Structure 1
C-alpha cells in the first residue's frame, strides 16, 4: 500500500470529518436520514465504510466540532496550500463559488449544508485566515453547531467566550461578558458566496467583536463567518491574540465562566435529537 503523504493524510481527515458532520445532521431530517439513505449507491457506500469506518460508527454518539462546509473550506485552503499568496483570497472565493454553483440548479431557494458567506481576517500584511457562516438548516442544528464550536475547543476561547455571552438567545448574560473590541490593525471582511460582493458585519458581530459600520440585522450569535475567521486568526497569530482584551479582563471569575459554559451545555443537551446518544465527546478525526 502506498504510504500516505502529509497532504493526503490531511485530506483524508477532512473527508472523515465532513462525513461525520453530515451523518450527524441527517438525524434532524423528517424522517431522520441514516448514512445508508444519504449515500444511496451501494458500491459507494461500501467503499466509504471501508475507508472511513469511524465516521459511520460515531455519528450517533459523538458531536461534530463544526458544520460540514467549514470542513469544505479547509479542504480548499489545503488544496491551494502555499502555492500562491498574491490574490489567494480571490482564488479561494472563486473556487468556493464554482463549487456551490451547480447546487443552485435544483431550484431550491436554500441550499442545505452550504454556507452563504465567507470572511477573511488578517493583520496588515499577515496571511489571511478564513471562516464561513454556519451551514445548517433549521434552528436546532444551528444552535447545536454553535454550542459544539464553543465547547469542543474548535473555536479559540476568546471567540467562544464572546459567543457564549449571548448564547442561546440574543439577550446578553448579566453575569458574564466575554465580548471584545478588535485591535485597529485587524482587517475583517466578509463576502457573499453567491456573487462575491462585500458584506458589512451585522449587529451581532458588532456586539461580539466591536466591528463597526454594522447593518441593522441581528443574526443568531455565532452563526456568522466572522466567528470562525477570527478564531483561526487568533489561533495562528499570537501577537494579535495578545492584543485582544475581553470585557471580563485577563482573569475571569472561574465560577462565572463555568456558569456560562454550563448554560451552553444545558441548552445543547436539551435540543439534541432522541436518536442521538451523546457519550460526552466531540468528534476529532484521527
Structure 2
C-alpha cells in the first residue's frame, strides 16, 4: 500500500474538521485523518487537512459515486498528489438507495466508476472502496488497495478479512463515546445511529451479523448500540478498538461522538495515550 495509514485514524464530516483539530490529532500520534460525509469533487476540504499537517495521511470516506463524476475527482486526486505526494488515499463508495434518486445497479456502477478511475490514471493502490457485503469486498480486494467498512463490529472485521484474504487493506470505522455512564452513552449513540438504521445497506449488513428487527427498531437495542458505539473509559474503549486489529484489521478508524460544540481533541488525546 502506497499510503502509510498507521494503526489508528480519526473520521469526521467536514463540519467538524478544522486546522486546529487536524494538527492536534497529528501531534497526538494518529496516522490518518478521514474526511467523511460525501466530500465534494474538488476535494478542497481534504486539501485543508493536508495543508494543516506535516506528514499525516488524509483519506476520503467516502466520495459518493452518484454525486461525484470520476473524471472530476480524479483531477482533484492528481492535484493533491502533486502538492502532497504520498499522503492522500481516495476512498470511494456507492452510497445508499434511500439518498439517491437515480440509484441503479450498485455493483455495475462501482465497476464502471473504477474503470473510469483507471482511465484517469488513479493508481489501484491509492484508492479504497466502501464495502460491507462479500461481493463488494471481493471487488475492493481486486480493484483497489482495500476496504473501508462503516458501521461495523469486530465480527464483521473477522469475516471481511476472510473474504479479502491477506495483503489487502481493511480499515473499519468504529464509533466511541468517552462516557462511563452507560445510559448517557447509549442515549448519545442512539441519537447518532437513528438515521443510519433507516438505510437498507447498513440494516442488511447488521442482519447478516445476527442482529434482529427488534435490535434495529426504535433507535437500536442496548445490544446493538453497545456493539456499534463503544463507551466507557479510554482504557475500556481502547480494548474495543484493539478487537478490530485482533480480528484482522490493518487500521481502525475512530469516530468520537459528543454534544454539538464540544471540543473533541481532549478525548482523542486521552485515547491516544492508551492506544500507543
Q: Structure 1 length as normaliser, TM-score?
A: 0.34
The structure with the largest alpha-carbon Rg is: 1
TM-score by length of 2: 0.34
Structure in which a larger fraction of residues adopt strand: 2
Relative CO higher for 1 or 2, CA cutoff 8 Å, sep ≥ 6? 1
